[in-house]
Homo-oligomer: A and B are copies of this chain.
């Protein structure tokens, strides 16, 4: 669609509606919809608020009522044609008497994948595709990544001093960044389905790992710990603020497994205690986007195993020094500078006195 397409302004509004539920629809995508009557007047709006609840089209059509007849449905994603937790939206669109459907993109879900569009055209509706498709894909990048790869989109986050330290030589790390940056991290968590740490972070920092109420329910807190060598008491074992999933390898001794079962902490045994296996397991649980908030060894492994698509580095204007002090990433096995990971789409901004550097991670080619 050209920039002059008359539907762009309505699709922009539908994308705004879709974004209202960011971080809350997984495993579903974000979808927004609106209905114009036969004269082009806005008569209904809707968005998909949460998995299991009504799809965006249904809400917009319900609001429009009889005024939808002969009108136009503008929706960010192809209406579904299958019975999931809700009936197929393509049937609801036909039943409402809509004459034209304007779409940003087809649904890559193999159960839809153009079937909704076919059903609408077979029903005699005009279907216009591809309006603001790039924007719609960007909005649903985590969902699209999971559908395409079977893994959630991964964001690796760290906070370091300007000389690249994530802790002092004595291990002290709270807080390197300031309150503005920590508040931003809480908002970032609210857009994610899970946060992942390793056992070392639990032992060193005893993190609470929540969005501080910015998402309800809180994202899943995930601990990846090969042998379950973890403290008996930790904030993460308290289910009141948020659920925790304890993921371990086959080598975890039975007595430790039993201990956490008695504590009531959900446990998942992987065949191999690796980031890639964890990512697949989390995708199966419906996670579209996960946040790696781990130490250098797990972070390097997650990068190596293709689990990281985006980076969010908070850089504090401090110098901590210390050759043995913790740094963001353990060995990546590089022999040449050209072989390193790099960042594209780099963007920076200030979070109080701290700098936030975000970008898309591009692996060695």
On A, residues with C-beta under 8 Å from B are: 160-165, 168-170, 172-176, 296, 300, 303, 311, 313, 315, 317-324, 327-337, 340-344, 346, 348, 353, 355, 357, 359, 361
Residue pair A331, B337 in contact (C-beta under 8 Å) = no
Closest B residue to A355 using CB positions: B348
- Residues of chain B within 8 A of A328, CB atoms compared: 163-164
When all copies of this chain in the complex are counted, the total is 2
Cα of A38 to Cα of B214 in the assembled complex, Å: 69
- Residues of chain B within 8 A of A318, CB atoms compared: 337, 340-343
The DSSP consensus for interface residues of chain A is loop
Residue pair A337, B311 in contact (C-beta under 8 Å) = no
- Residues of chain B within 8 A of A315, CB atoms compared: 315, 357
Known A162-B311, A162-B313, A348-B348; contact A332-B321, beta-carbon cutoff 8 A: yes
- Residues of chain B within 8 A of A342, CB atoms compared: 317-319
Name the one of B169, B174, B317, B361 contacting A346, with C-beta atoms under 8 angstroms.
B317
What is the distance, in angstroms, from A324's C-beta to the closest C-beta of chain B? Answer: 8
What is the distance, in angstroms, from A169's C-beta to the closest C-beta of chain B? Answer: 7
Known A321-B329, A346-B353, A357-B355; contact A336-B164, beta-carbon cutoff 8 A: no
Closest B residue to A161 using CB positions: B340
